[in-house]
Structures are given as structure tokens and as C-alpha cells.
Amino acid sequence: MRRTIDAILLVLLVAAACARDPRSSLELANVPCLPPGLSAQFFSWPVVGFEHVTLQTEGGEEVEAAWVVYRRGSVGVAAVWTRSDLVVVDPSPDTDTPYWVDGALVTDDDDNVLRATPDGFCRWRRHAEGA
């Protein structure tokens, strides 16, 4: 009788795990913060462009980064990553609309220069033209 109860409990646990929301908490926990109004869905889109770039820190050090373009149909999103940090997001790379920069990761004087150490977390703002 004990084995039958254990087997039933195991089946119920497996069924409950399979019935959960397909977006696991681990998946959601790994999504970086994003600019206002932007969904993390674009991370699952095909990558149609990739380029290695080098950014500078305010101390003059070089940092390896990647410029990545995600696209689904006619909609694209461009992003700049440094290791695990999402520095830039452009939800309209085919337009002249200013892209978003994380002010916690770039300097206030120049949106193209990384801070030596982050100044807080997730402070998205539009790129300052001419910065």
C-alpha cells in the first residue's frame, strides 16, 4: 500500500510540474532590466546581426562588447552587451528615434563611455544626441 501511495504522489508531483506556466522563474530571473515599454520577448527572436565592438571606460580601459540585432519579421531590436550587462537597447534600429542607454552603466557626460563601476541599477534614458 505504501508503494502505491508513493507512486501516486510522484505522478501528481510530475503532473503539477508539467502544468506550470512555461515561463519558469529561472527564465524570468535571468532577463535583465529593460527600458520602459519594452518586452523581453525579443531575446527569443533570431539574431540577424552580430558585431564585436570595443568600448572605453572613463578610466581609458577597453572593454569587449557585442552589438546584436534581433529580428522577427519586419520588427527589429538592436542591443549592445558587455559580458552580462545590457548597455544599449534600440527598439527601432531602422529609424532615427534615439536609442536607450542605461545611465547606471554609462557616464553622464558621454553615453558612449562606460562607468568604471556601475552607478546604481537600471536607469534607462534616451541617448543624448551629440553626447
Write phi, then psi, for 11 (nearest 5 degrees): -60, -40
pLDDT of residue 60: 94
How far apart are the C-alpha atoms of 110 and 106, rounded to whole Å?
7
Domain count, the chain: 1
In a domain, 37, yes or no: yes
111 SS3 class:
coil
Q: How many CB atoms lie within 10 A of CB 93?
A: 17
pTM given for the model: 0.73
In a domain, 131, yes or no: no
pLDDT in tens, 58-86: 999 999 999 999 999 999 999 999 988 99
**Domain around 56:** 2-126
